[in-house]
Amino acid sequence: MGIIRTDKWLEEEFDRPAKICEKLLPAFKGLSAPKIYNQLTDFGMYRASRMTKEIFNSMKENLVWEEVDSFFQEYKRRWGGPDIPIYLFPIGQERSFFFRQEEKVKGGVSYPDKMFLFLSNRLTSRELEALFVHEYHHICRLNKQTKRFEDYTLLDSIIIEGLAEYAVLVHCGRNYLADWCTMYTDAELENLWDRYLHDHLDLKKSDRKHDDLLFGSGRIPKLLGYAAGFKIVENYYKVNSYSTKVSFTMPARKYISAEHNSTKKSRKK
């Protein structure tokens, strides 16, 4: 499978992205095209505008479909990863008459059997690779875990995000880590962990509070679950050897147990 030539879809129906989503009906069994589109826009899919049309044209000129396919072939071979379809679309941009909106550069969402990347025309090749590595690590881990995707808990989500970004650190370098990796100090994270996350690690994905704690909402700090996940994984690999393939299968609870033991030791000193 690999890269799906969504550039051809976009050439035909750019101004009707919900219509494009009709082509995704076989990949989202049970969902209508409008519901698929609404789901994907939550993660960054474009709405038709002059700005997003410019992004699409730039993506074509820069052969982005071919470049992502080369990343896919490389990491599928390196990691022994699954052969899944990958869909590329421009990332949504919002303009306000009164406020200057922050330009969105990249986004993505991965399912056990498919990947979506939402891209701008301001990504370097290395930044694009970092996004791909993060999302493909998700897919590899989802396919190696015995737990069903629907049964994932907040702890599973925290660790899968931390592991995916740690793979970016290993394969692309620290300069390409997401901003949320350094959003909070260690002391802040320890306090926020105790305050918000510690007592809710078994929350299922279907629980609304799961996403509030993972992404941040209201009083819950922005991307708290992501930031905590990266710090836990980074601390684990400061004292343990790293293997990307092993990171696909190691239970989430093992990372948290190691973090708990490490914290207890540091407090005794």
What are 27's two structure tokens?
């990949």
- pLDDT: is 105 or 2 the higher one? 2
Mean pLDDT, residues 63-92 taken together: 97
Domain map of the chain by residue range? 1-125, 145-269
Q: Please state the pTM of the whole predicted model.
A: 0.91
67 or 102, greater pLDDT = 67
* Residue 91: CB atoms within 10 Å: 23
Q: What is the pLDDT of residue 103?
A: 55
Q: Is the pLDDT of residue 100 over 70?
A: no
Check residue 82 and give its pLDDT.
Answer: 97
Band (102; pLDDT cuts 50, 70, 90): very low
- How does pLDDT run across 120-129, given as a tens digit for each residue? 998 999 999 9
pLDDT of amino acid 76: 98
Query: What is the pLDDT, as a whole number, of residue 93?
Result: 76
Q: What is the dihedral of CA 71, 75, 77, 83, to 10 degrees?
A: -80
Amino acid at 35: K
Cα-only R_g, the chain: 19
Residue of 231, 222, 82 lying closest to 211 (CA atoms): 222
pLDDT at 83 over 70: yes
pLDDT of residue 177: 97
- Report pLDDT for 97: 40
In this prediction, residue 265 carries a pLDDT of 45
What pLDDT digit, counting tens, does each position of 149-175 carry?
Answer: 889 999 999 999 999 999 999 999 999
